[in-house]
């Protein structure tokens, strides 16, 4: 038991790496996914633009995140001659993979807003940007927010895939400890508790945000 307690700093370092990867990948996927998802809205995007974005979304959703990480870490450096760290490769791969889902989530929310809202804004002389920012997006956000939150939680769990290329996030840190202690049960229980803690904190923050928004 004393040995397990002594390994907490290693798990804590791995947890910090997990959070860092989750936040960076989340930012990447949110920027790309939100932008392309809005461009796919039925009242904005041209048919060609929607088709190209749909193909991108299909590819990023169709290829498993694990395979995308391997491609980013092994294939991209071999093809370009540019050395990429495991953290950078995996985080970008997760961000791009997640962006495909965010596109679908945002597009669905935007298209769920009644068409009359767009027509009314156009009749009142609103620009497209003003219409999206002040009228459409606030309504669409309330529609797609639950699905978006679910995708953020899925992204958090996907960070465990970084262990496949040797990035010492919390799962890999646990695996390293197990190789020394040969006692997997308590270590994996600790790892599971860490992920549950992250998920609980995230959900609490979301609930606080929603309550504050309703006030």
Q: Which CATH number belongs to the domain containing residue 42 in this structure? A: 1.10.3720.10
- pLDDT score for 5: 78
Tally of domains within the chain: 1
Q: What is the pLDDT of residue 33?
A: 97
What residues contact 147, with CB distance under 8 A and at least 6 apart? 105, 108, 109
Rounded Cα distance between 181 and 73, Å, is 30
pLDDT on residue 213: 75
- Predicted pLDDT of residue 153: 96
- Residues 177 and 11 sit within 8 Å (Cβ to Cβ): yes
Long-range contacts of 205-208 (CB under 8 A, 24+ apart): 206/149
In this structure, are residues 151 and 101 in contact, taking their beta carbons and an 8 Å threshold? yes
The pLDDT-based confidence of 47 (bands split at 50, 70, 90) is confident
Give 148's Cβ-side CA count (13 Å radius): 22
Quote the domain boundaries for residue 48. Answer: 2-214
Burial of 93 (0-12, 13-18, 19+ CB in 10 A): buried
Q: Please give the model's pTM, rounded to 2 decimal places.
A: 0.92
Produce one character per residue of 50-82: b if its CB has 16 or more CB atoms within 10 Å, e if not.
beebbebbeebbeeebeebbbebbeeeeeeeee
Q: State residue 2's pLDDT score.
A: 58
Give the pLDDT band (50/70/90) at residue 167.
very high
Q: Are 63 and 99 in contact (CB under 8 A)?
A: no
Output the pLDDT for position 79.
95
């Amino acid at each position: 038991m004393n040995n397990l307690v002594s390994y907490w700093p290693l798990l804590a370092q791995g947890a910090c790496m997990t959070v860092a990867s989750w936040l960076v990948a989340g930012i990447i996927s949110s920027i790309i996914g939100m932008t392309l998802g809005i461009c796919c809205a039925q009242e904005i995007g041209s048919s060609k633009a929607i088709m190209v974005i749909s193909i991108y979304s299909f590819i990023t959703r169709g290829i498993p995140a694990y395979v995308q990480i391997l491609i980013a870490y092994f294939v991209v450096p071999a093809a370009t001659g540019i050395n990429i760290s495991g953290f950078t490769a995996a985080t970008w791969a997760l961000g791009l993979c997640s962006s495909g889902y965010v596109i679908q989530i945002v597009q669905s929310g935007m298209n769920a807003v009644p068409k009359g809202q767009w027509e009314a804004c156009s009749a009142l002389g609103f620009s497209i940007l003003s219409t999206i920012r002040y009228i459409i997006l606030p309504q669409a956000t309330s529609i797609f927010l639950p699905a978006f939150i679910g995708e953020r939680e899925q992204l958090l769990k996907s960070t465990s895939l970084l262990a496949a290329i040797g990035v010492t996030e919390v799962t890999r840190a646990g695996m390293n400890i197990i190789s020394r202690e040969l006692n997997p049960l308590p270590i994996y229980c600790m790892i599971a508790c860490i992920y549950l803690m992250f998920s609980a904190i995230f959900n609490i923050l979301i609930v606080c945000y929603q309550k504050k928004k309703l006030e």
